Chains A and B, each alone.
Chain A
């Protein structure tokens, strides 16, 4: 199957899933997921400072923009997911080997090489990148034009902007990885708000099994269910 065919059929699949989801939303709207997480604009970050929060909101919004096919990173509350992860065991590298030696040039297979925890790497990286943006574009990242933001992120991804303060941690890789995770993880972690991402791709969620549908060449009709049992 050519890549184009795959894309086409994938899109068709997504559309069919979305129709099924809309149908399923019809019968018991009152019991359908009502999120108890605050709206993004009301959220008080636990880890990020106000300036850092502005950066995270602006950057994740460019990685998964709202004007694409599905919900954007902000619709899915990805910044809330990242903030919560950074105060948790991931952000503190609680179960990682963090002793030296730290060799930034080590092969990727040797794992994370920075002496900074992910939370520290975010903090140092955001500060340095905002400084770079001010020096080169006259404003911090969050205040730049859309096209400039995209150019900065592209340069960061390609390594054209080199951040020294993260001491070997790759801010762009962390950010992209955590954005994807926040988009698709169970809503219990703060992202994937109201299962928006699952609805978009037609993923049935934590239903554990639908083996009676194996071999049936139709999209699975029911919308997703999350770990807490809410229906999306």
Chain B
């Protein structure tokens, strides 16, 4: 017994020492990854463009709030994380940040006082930024952004997630080397990979998470890379694999989707609406070509630019025949489709290009996680306004028209109609989706 107590005491001491080391071991910040001449100056507009491609705005601006003043709630599995003020205000913003401080927040997720940022800030991806982009963005935030002297709400997660020193251990395990390595013998593919992996931080949502919630798969050689994730109950579809949109859509369709939030197959909803509206619509022709070429290349579609669409046959499906019959004995799900959806999405489930997204083969409709589909059905959705396609085309919410049981029948019907083959949805799933306030459309 005495031995056991001694053993416990020893264990406690070792534990304290380890924790002490984790907390007090001197913080090291990652150095610049490329040598940039001391008199380097950024070209006009570079910083703002890098900010756009990095989509700083989406998280660091609240609905109706001042640009970059923070205060947007970001749901995480561990609680709500509030985005920070990144205007050059010295008190509440980043006005006192040196270039090294700024780089450390992007590369290492560390504030100047040593406070560790939650990985909701995608420094897993931003640590691949080029020094040129970092300098340009630093320049932009310091000189072109209006300082806002406002403090956003403080993030207050429950124990143990409020012990931020623990993030250090996570960083040791999760982070890969800083800087971006060119893997291809092709400037377009290298540029595309850089934009996707660093500024675009696509993997922050579109990658599955490892057991320690790190982004799984560091590059295209890993099947898990960009193979789809779940964010706040919404599916972020796979961008890697035979069923993914980059594998199926034509070059131009993928570009149209990323630039305008709509194409001949689908339309954006959920978080991606902001990504298109705040970020991707600003991509230059060269950069969009690089992103699309890269995403199609990693799916073996580098050479041809056409559409591969399994559901493009003109033979009417059984689902289409059933709906077109308007047979009063049809199952409730089909009847609800005719009563609520058919006017826009039609009996063939294909909708209309750039206006009504196709439900047949739609990644959101057939996702393993039905939360996104249910959110759109119950609360509606609205496309972003972009310079190329200004109209904020919208779908109304049908939450008032459908009971939980009816919405479950209807969701199951569209998930299994036409060529779709996804699992059923329960009334409990619908109730959960209904009670969640939808923060994704604004």
- A residues in contact with B329, CB < 8 Å: 23, 26-27
- Contact indicator B328/A210 (Cβ below 8 Å): no
- Contact indicator B406/A20 (Cβ below 8 Å): no
A220 at the B interface (CB under 8 A): yes
A116 to B325, CA, bound (A): 52
B343 at the A interface (CB under 8 A): yes
B324 at the A interface (CB under 8 A): yes
- Contact indicator A222/B326 (Cβ below 8 Å): yes
Question: Assuming A31-B406, A222-B335, is B342 touching A210 (CB within 8 A)?
Answer: yes
A25 to B395, CA, bound (A): 29
B327 at the A interface (CB under 8 A): yes
**Interface residue stretch chosen among A38-46, A174-182, A223-231:** A223-231
A24 at the B interface (CB under 8 A): yes
B181 at the A interface (CB under 8 A): no
Q: Which of B325, B326, B342, B398 contacts A229 (CB 8 A)?
A: B398
* Interface residues of chain B: helix, strand, loop or mixed (majority): helix
B186 at the A interface (CB under 8 A): no
Question: Assuming A26-B329, A222-B328, is B335 touching A229 (CB within 8 A)?
Answer: no
- A residues in contact with B406, CB < 8 Å: 31, 229
B340 at the A interface (CB under 8 A): yes
A221 to B334, CA, bound (A): 14
Proximity string of chain B (377-408) to chain A, C-beta cutoff 8 Å, 1 when within and 0 when not: 00000000000000000000010111101100
- Contact indicator A228/B328 (Cβ below 8 Å): no
Question: Assuming A31-B406, A212-B347, is B340 touching A229 (CB within 8 A)?
Answer: yes
B332 at the A interface (CB under 8 A): yes
- Min C-beta distance of A35 to chain B, whole Å: 16
Proximity string of chain B (317-343) to chain A, C-beta cutoff 8 Å, 1 when within and 0 when not: 000000111111100100100111011
- Contact indicator A229/B400 (Cβ below 8 Å): yes
- Contact indicator B328/A207 (Cβ below 8 Å): no
- Contact indicator A229/B347 (Cβ below 8 Å): no
A8 at the B interface (CB under 8 A): no
- Min C-beta distance of B99 to chain A, whole Å: 57
Q: Which A181-232 residues sit within 8 Å CB-CB of chain B?
A: 207-213, 220-223, 225, 228-229, 231
- Min C-beta distance of A109 to chain B, whole Å: 36
A50 to B326, CA, bound (A): 46
- Contact indicator B326/A220 (Cβ below 8 Å): yes
Q: Which residue of B lies closest to A21 (CB)?
A: B328
Proximity string of chain A (22-38) to chain B, C-beta cutoff 8 Å, 1 when within and 0 when not: 01101110010000000
- B residues in contact with A223, CB < 8 Å: 328
- B residues in contact with A211, CB < 8 Å: 346
- Min C-beta distance of B392 to chain A, whole Å: 20
A184 to B347, CA, bound (A): 28
- B residues in contact with A20, CB < 8 Å: 328
- Contact indicator A222/B338 (Cβ below 8 Å): yes
A46 to B125, CA, bound (A): 64
Q: Which residue of A lies closest to B347 (CB)?
A: A212
- Min C-beta distance of B399 to chain A, whole Å: 10
- Contact indicator A207/B339 (Cβ below 8 Å): yes
- Min C-beta distance of A227 to chain B, whole Å: 8
A113 to B342, CA, bound (A): 44
- A residues in contact with B403, CB < 8 Å: 31
- Contact indicator B324/A212 (Cβ below 8 Å): yes
- Contact indicator A207/B324 (Cβ below 8 Å): no
- Contact indicator A228/B401 (Cβ below 8 Å): yes
- Contact indicator A26/B332 (Cβ below 8 Å): no
A231 to B346, CA, bound (A): 20
- Contact indicator A225/B347 (Cβ below 8 Å): no
- A residues in contact with B338, CB < 8 Å: 207, 210, 222
- Min C-beta distance of B339 to chain A, whole Å: 4
- Min C-beta distance of A176 to chain B, whole Å: 32
- A residues in contact with B400, CB < 8 Å: 228-229
- B residues in contact with A229, CB < 8 Å: 339-340, 398, 400-402, 406
Q: Which of B328, B339, B398 contacts A26 (CB 8 A)?
A: B328
Q: Which residue of B lies closest to A218 (CB)?
A: B326
| Chain A residues close to B by CB (< 8 Å) | 20, 23-24, 26-28, 31, 207-213, 220-223, 225, 228-229, 231
Can you list 5 A-B contacts with CB-CB less than 8 angstroms, sorted by A residue number?
A31-B405, A208-B342, A222-B326, A223-B328, A229-B340
Shortest beta-carbon contacts, A-B, top 8: A229-B401, A208-B343, A209-B343, A24-B328, A225-B339, A23-B328, A212-B324, A221-B326
Query: Known contacts A27-B332, A229-B406, A231-B339; can you find 15 more A-B pairs with CB under 8 A?
Result: A20-B328, A24-B328, A26-B329, A31-B403, A207-B339, A207-B343, A208-B343, A208-B344, A210-B338, A210-B342, A211-B346, A212-B346, A222-B328, A228-B401, A229-B402
